[in-house]
């Protein structure tokens, strides 16, 4: 390596925070850096930085270096490799990786080792991506701030006094400080989009069924979506091409063909209609957030878009309906954690005492809260009053969006109604934390795709813009995101 190459190498490695998949892929292909070098530098960054951020629960150092060496060997032999070959990334710690600890952010799975691979991990491994670790999260996805994790709160790298959002906060924080070039989050009611907004990155919740959920620890099975978090719209499109598609292990995965999302990023937006739902621009919206979002709207106008005011009238019921159905499904999914079959087990004189002691010691207050409320909503005498009524509202929400998409090409809203808040600021009021998701929770019951796009900054903190399209129109979503980003 000559002096100029050494200088370039040092420049690359000192800017891991800004390095994108597309940039790194070209450097790897030209052999200006190796997969082992890139992986080692990423792991070194985690060693020096993560003690103050707590983005990771598990670091897979040996596995990562083994994967990186294999990629370098294949490249040196002249094998044709994918654009993800040698790219370091992380997984939210809800995805199974055989032989690796998977906790879902909960003490009840503190020492659980996966017995098989999640489909999303298997696809990324086949593409040559290098797994560097599993990221911190609210337990089972129960939270909007990553403060509920049994492994400690994650801090926002942009300002460590603030939350990174949740529940995929570890993934958002890792990307924000350069610990991997992308991450795979999981979104039940905003768990990808919230941390993407608070950490200033891109986060995509695909159409329900677009990406296989096989090997993902369930929160609410009819809401959960597997999705990518990255630094650019182009990187996000590339990732979706790899992880999307039907899976024989997941009956809810869609048979729809996977488009080449990267090929439609640069299409003109001239004449496209953007809908602004009045229910998302009320007095409850932080004025700082509103200002940034309206500047983004002006940018779309300059790209030739037509702006139209619309209404999604059932939005006012969306948070209540989301939580009733979601927490009901969560209470059912968490029934398996009984201290008998796997995971943490407390001592007891009989099975009932073992159950009670295990859950009492291993579940956080938030886990207990959601199990209790969900069980109540499903109980005899109350299921009709709460659960079935919430399912009816879910259908009305779907009709709202279907009607809106006959008038507009895409819907634009703030991702979050507030700026990132300080760690500990809202922990004493669970209802306030639940309401933080007011702009994202309507999307999962409907099943349409939505994406958080960095829109700007206020008071040194990121503001995310949420874009929403009809089912399976992720290509349009990514096109709008890319055009805004490049503008």
Catalytic residues: 92, 167, 191
Q: Confirm if 142 and 437 have CB atoms less than 8 A apart.
A: no
For 5, what's the count of Cα atoms within 13 Å in the CB-facing half-sphere? 8
Name the pairing type of β-strands 56-59 and 130-135: antiparallel
Residue 246: strand pairing partners: none
Task: Enumerate residues 6+ apart whose C-beta is below 8 A from 31.
Answer: 75
In order, the DSSP letters of 225-265 are EEEEEESSHHHHHHHHHHHBS-BTTBTTS--S----GGGGT
Alpha-carbon span 419 to 130, nearest angstrom: 33
Cross-strand bridge partners of residue 465: 414, 453
Q: How many residues does the chain have?
A: 487
CA gap 179, 177 in Å, rounded: 6
Q: In what order do the strands lie in the sheet with 130-135?
A: 56-59, 130-135, 88-92, 182-187, 225-230, 202-205, 450-458, 461-468, 410-414, 273-277, 306-310
Dihedral angle sign, alpha carbons of residues 318, 319, 324, 327? positive
Angstrom distance (rounded) from CA 249 to CA 126 = 17
Nearest to 323 by CA among 276, 393, 380: 393
Q: What residues contact 78, with CB distance under 8 A and at least 6 apart?
A: none
Distance from chain centroid for Cα 270: 30
**β-pairing, 410-414 with 273-277?**
parallel
DSSP codes, 76-104:
HTT----TTTT-EEEEETTB--TTSB--T
Residue for token digits 């019951």?
A: 445
Beta-strand runs (E) in 261-368: 273-277, 306-310
Contact between residue 296 and residue 428 where contact means Cβ atoms under 8 Å apart: no
């Amino acid at each position: 390596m000559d002096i100029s190459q050494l200088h370039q190498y040092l420049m690359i490695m000192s800017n891991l925070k800004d390095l994108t998949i597309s940039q790194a892929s070209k450097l790897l292909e030209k052999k200006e850096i190796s997969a082992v070098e890139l992986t080692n530098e990423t792991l070194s960054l985690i060693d020096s930085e993560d003690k103050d951020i707590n983005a990771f629960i598990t670091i897979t150092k040996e596995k990562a270096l083994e994967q990186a060496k294999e990629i370098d060997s294949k490249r040196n032999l002249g094998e044709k490799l994918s654009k993800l070959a040698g790219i370091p990334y992380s997984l939210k710690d809800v995805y199974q990786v055989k032989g690796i600890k998977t906790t879902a952010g909960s003490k009840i799975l503190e020492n659980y080792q996966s017995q098989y691979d999640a489909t999303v991990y298997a696809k990324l491994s086949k593409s040559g991506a290098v797994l560097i670790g599993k990221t911190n999260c609210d337990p089972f996805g129960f939270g909007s701030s990553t403060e509920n994790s049994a492994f400690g709160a994650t801090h926002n790298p942009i300002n460590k006094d603030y939350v990174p959002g949740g529940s995929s906060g570890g993934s958002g924080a890792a990307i924000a400080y350069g610990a991997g070039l992308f991450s795979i989050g999981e979104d039940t009611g905003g768990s990808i989009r919230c941390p993407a907004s608070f950490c200033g990155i891109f986060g995509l919740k695909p159409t329900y069924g677009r990406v296989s959920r096989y090997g993902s620890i369930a929160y609410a099975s009819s809401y959960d979506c597997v999705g990518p978090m990255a630094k650019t719209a182009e990187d996000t499109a590339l990732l979706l091409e790899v992880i999307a598609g039907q899976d024989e292990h997941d009956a809810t995965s869609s048979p729809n063909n996977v488009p080449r999302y990267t090929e439609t990023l640069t299409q003109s937006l001239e004449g496209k209609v953007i809908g602004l739902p009045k229910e998302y621009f009320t007095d409850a919206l932080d004025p700082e957030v509103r200002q940034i979002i309206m500047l983004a709207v002006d940018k779309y106008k300059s790209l030739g878009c037509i702006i139209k005011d619309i209404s999604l009238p059932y939005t006012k019921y969306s948070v209540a309906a989301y939580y009733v159905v979601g927490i009901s499904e969560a209470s059912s999914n968490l029934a398996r954690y009984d201290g008998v079959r796997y995971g943490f087990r407390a001592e007891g004189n009989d099975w009932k005492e073992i159950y009670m002691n295990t859950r009492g010691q291993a579940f956080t207050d938030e886990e207990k809260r959601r199990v209790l409320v969900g069980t109540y909503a499903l109980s005899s005498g109350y299921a009709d009053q709460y659960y079935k009524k919430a399912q009816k509202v879910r259908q009305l929400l779907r009709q709202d969006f279907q009607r809106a998409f006959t008038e507009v090409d895409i819907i634009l809203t703030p991702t979050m109604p507030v700026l990132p808040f300080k760690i500990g600021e809202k922990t004493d009021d669970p209802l306030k934390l639940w309401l933080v998701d007011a702009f994202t929770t309507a999307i999962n019951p409907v099943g349409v795709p939505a994406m958080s796009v960095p829109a700007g900054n206020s008071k040194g903190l990121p503001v995310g813009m949420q874009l929403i399209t009809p089912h399976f129109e992720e290509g349009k979503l990514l096109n709008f995101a890319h055009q805004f980003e490049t503008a």
